[in-house]
Structure 1
């Protein structure tokens, strides 16, 4: 008889845990020597023309929802809002020095005035303008909640067209499960997305029910929320919160964006916040990958985790095994068909972080078999050229997640306490070296698109053969 060992509950994290400090305009003031003070509410020099002090955002919004309200009010009398046109190729770069973050080095420094030409370039996040000087702001406030209260959704039978306007011509995404479309609730005008699942067997319905039941347990700003679930004889429609910023990695590889290590810290911290909550609710995502991390808007650093189609409720006394996922992000225990747990998600976080700071996929091989063999070897080194400018804290963070033995990996709570994800305000001001990851990420995304195109052509050819031979076969993605 197998002896069952109860796994401890998720690490509750530091007592009285508080969210990461919000990097807002109130923490930045100009000094006579051009340096930046992190003291809040320090009065400006009386000789400065306060009418020249502005907060700029390229979306033209007031920023009230994006800033920490209590701190923003302190500068209300001194700051006014403006808009910077979104027309140029890049934004000012903040760069992170490897090793000792406290030592300055040549290059762009947080707080160094930008040239007029730089002000005309695309600014992907808000800035403070004080006279002729431009100061970049990294938005690390929590993302906004869903535009509706958390709902306990029940799968019900109804006529979808009576309640929702679906844009079936615009496909936002898709895969083996079906397609994702934009839609609007008719009664309220609320914008949502509809995940349309094809139901061909009872198992398909059980998978949809599992997703509904899992999401009923999750109410966190870093996790997408479900609004409704409707079934018809052939399809199930899951109506979800609309998040309009697109995939995180698609934003990072955009020509107008320059990724710095401090950006990666902000992104990864939010991912860990969402996973920490998820694990506290005894839910495993089991499909964490870049496609399932989306930005709230094209200009903010706020992200949410999506797609809980493969998520599972976790009961430590019932050992769980799974045999699905994407090869690059599978943990060794999934490949070995061993028991999974909270640490299985953390392996995927390690892979995502590795890719974010370097632009390289640590275990990617020529095919899925080679990739999975690389995962089992577990040799994720930091010798590649893009890691020359990556801090030792980042390498240590990744090294403590890409551990073959699952019990040796950091939990989400331990990640949130790790030095790399803390003291972000100081690190933002000391950034002075650009990472080399953007070009590598572009190459990765091009390879991914190429593989999808090859699959589409192959699938079309197979269907032609099926039509000519009259033979019925199943086609797996």
Structure 2
């Protein structure tokens, strides 16, 4: 069994991995002029990620290549870069550099995180996630979301897959994937129709006005999943899941919650509110 560290972050563990940087997209420039690409770390529908080394400093980072053959794809990446420029905080994945070949792909050079997804620990029976360890994860998640909200930015895709662990057995985390993030103006009505069904808030499903509470609902779902290994709104289909979300239909009846404190359940209940003040 793998027991997760339960110690609180110490002073000195709250710094970003490198000095604050002014990031400008380098258009028409080849990343290989300034970085050496190393092994492939992963690939998906967005593109491919490689470990890389900056030639001038030797700093080890991650290079995320994104296909941008469509104009809309390029705009999406440019928006993500604009948002990540603002999000310089130790609980958030940091952007180091950006390239655009002005043809078919862009590349984001990012802080390298090698501890894996928090979701992997939730589903792996070898990992022991105590309530104490979960509370430390949740505190850091809230710190990251709070900073985003202080900058008037909504994440809008909060889920355990978008929480990375800094190390394999430690409890330090980083929030990642700002592709759905949006700048938020409280005086303007904003609606979205994207996200992962089991983690989105009712106002997303109903295409109603979103707000800071939209992210906080997702934080409540993440806490429920961490404590129990269960998904509170998961149905047999996306439609059933979204119906459960709109009804805010969940409970703490499973035996997984037998040893969970009332304070933890109250924390979740205060976030999973169908009607918010």
> What TM-score, normalized to structure 1?
0.55
Name 1:293's counterpart in structure 2.
163
Q: Which residue of 1 aligns with 2:23?
A: 153
Query: C-alpha offsets along residues 7-48 of structure 1, whole Å, 9 cap, x if unaligned?
Result: xxxxxxxxxxxxxxxxxxxxxxxxxxxxxxxxxxxxxxxxxx
Q: Deviations over 1:415-444 (max 9, x none)?
A: xxxxxxxxxxxxxxxxxxxxxxxxxxxxxx
Q: Provide the residue aligned with 1:74 in structure 2.
A: none
Decide which structure has the larger Cα Rg and report it: 1
Residue aligning to 1:475: none
Q: What stretches of structure 1 of length at least 5 have no aligned partner?
A: 1-88, 92-123, 126-136, 409-477
Query: How far apart in 2 are the matches of 1:201 and 1:231?
Result: 13
Deviation at 1:345, TM superposition (A): 0.3
1:199·1:236 contact (CA, 8 Å) conserved in 2?
yes
2:230 maps to 360
| In 2: Cα distance, 1:379 partner to 1:252 partner | 22
Q: Does 1:163 align with 2:20?
A: no
The structural deviation recorded for 1:255 is 5.2
Say yes or no: does 1:207 pair with 2:73.
Answer: no
Alignment correspondent of 1:395:
265
User: What's the counterpart of residue 201 of structure 2?
Assistant: 331
Candidates 249, 260, 271, aligned match of 1:379: 249
Instruction: Say yes or no: does 1:274 pair with 2:154.
Output: no
CA-atom RMSD in angstroms: 1.7
Deviations 1:252-311 (A, max 9, x none): 444553111011111001100111111011010001110110111113211110111111
Structure 2 alignment gaps of length 5 or more: none
Instruction: Select which of 29, 32, 56 maps to 1:187.
Output: 56
C-alpha separation between the residues in 1 aligned to 2:49 and 2:186?
33
Number of matched pairs: 274
CA contact (8 A) 2:68 2:105 kept: yes
Q: Normalization by structure 2: what TM-score?
A: 0.93
Relative to structure 1, the CA distance from residue 374 to residue 356 in structure 2 (aligned partners, 3 Å threshold; closer, same or farther) is: same
Corresponding position of 1:412: none
For 1:172 and 1:201, locate their aligned partners in 2 and report how far apart those are by CA, in whole Å.
Answer: 22
How far 1:402 moved relative to its partner?
A: 0.6
Determine the structure 1 residue equivalent to 2:186. 316
**Deviation per residue, 1:107-143 (Å, 9 max, x gap):** xxxxxxxxxxxxxxxxx54xxxxxxxxxxx6243374
Q: Measure, in 1, the Cα distance between the counterparts of 2:49 and 2:236.
A: 30
